[in-house]
Structure 1
Amino acid sequence: MSDYRIYHNPGCGTSRNVLALMRHCGIEPEVIEYLKTPPSREELVALLQSMGMSVREILRQRGTPYDELRLGEAHWSDDQLLDFVGQHPILMNRPVVVSPLGTRLCRPSEYVLDLLPPPPAQAFRKEDGEPVLDASGKRVT
Structure 2
Amino acid sequence: MQVQIYHHPRCSKSRETLKLLHYLGIEPEVILYLQDIPDIETLRTLYRQLGFHDVRDMMRRKDALYKALKIEDQEYEKESCLSLLTQYPQLLERPIVVYGDKAKLGRPPEQVLTLFSALKP
Q: TM-score, normalised by structure 1?
A: 0.77
- Distance apart, 1:64 and its partner CA: 4.4
- Distance apart, 1:105 and its partner CA: 1.3
Tell me which stretches of 4 or more aligned residues in structure 1 moved more than 6 Å. Answer: none
Aligned partner of 1:65 in structure 2 is 65
AA aligned opposite 1:52: G
Could you tell me how far apart the structure 1 residues matched to 2:100 and 2:76 are? Answer: 33
Task: For structure 1, list consecutive stretches of 5 or more residues without a partner in the other structure.
Answer: 119-141
- Distance apart, 1:61 and its partner CA: 2.5
Give the greater-gyration-radius structure (CA): 1
Aligned partner of 1:79 in structure 2 is 79
- For 1:25-57, what per-residue CA distance to the aligned partner results, in whole angstroms no more than 9, with x for missing partners? 000000001111111100000111111113111
Is residue 64–residue 91 contact of structure 1 (8 Å, CA) maintained in 2?
Answer: no
Task: For structure 2, list consecutive stretches of 5 or more residues without a partner in the other structure.
Answer: none
SS in 1 for 2:31: strand
**1:43-54 residue pairs with structure 2 within 5 A?**
43-53=42-52, 54=54
Could you tell me how far apart the structure 2 residues matched to 1:5 and 1:51 are? Answer: 13
User: How many residues are treated as equivalent by the alignment?
Assistant: 117
Could you tell me how far apart the structure 1 residues matched to 2:101 and 2:68 are? Answer: 37
Aligned-pair identity (%): 37
Higher helix share: 2
Could you tell me how far apart the structure 2 residues matched to 1:64 and 1:11 are? Answer: 17
Is residue 64–residue 90 contact of structure 1 (8 Å, CA) maintained in 2?
Answer: no
Tell me the C-alpha RMSD between the 2 structures. 1.6
**1:1-141 residue pairs with structure 2 within 5 A?**
3-53=2-52, 54-100=54-100, 102-116=102-116, 117=119
AA aligned opposite 1:30: E
Q: TM-score, normalised by structure 2?
A: 0.89
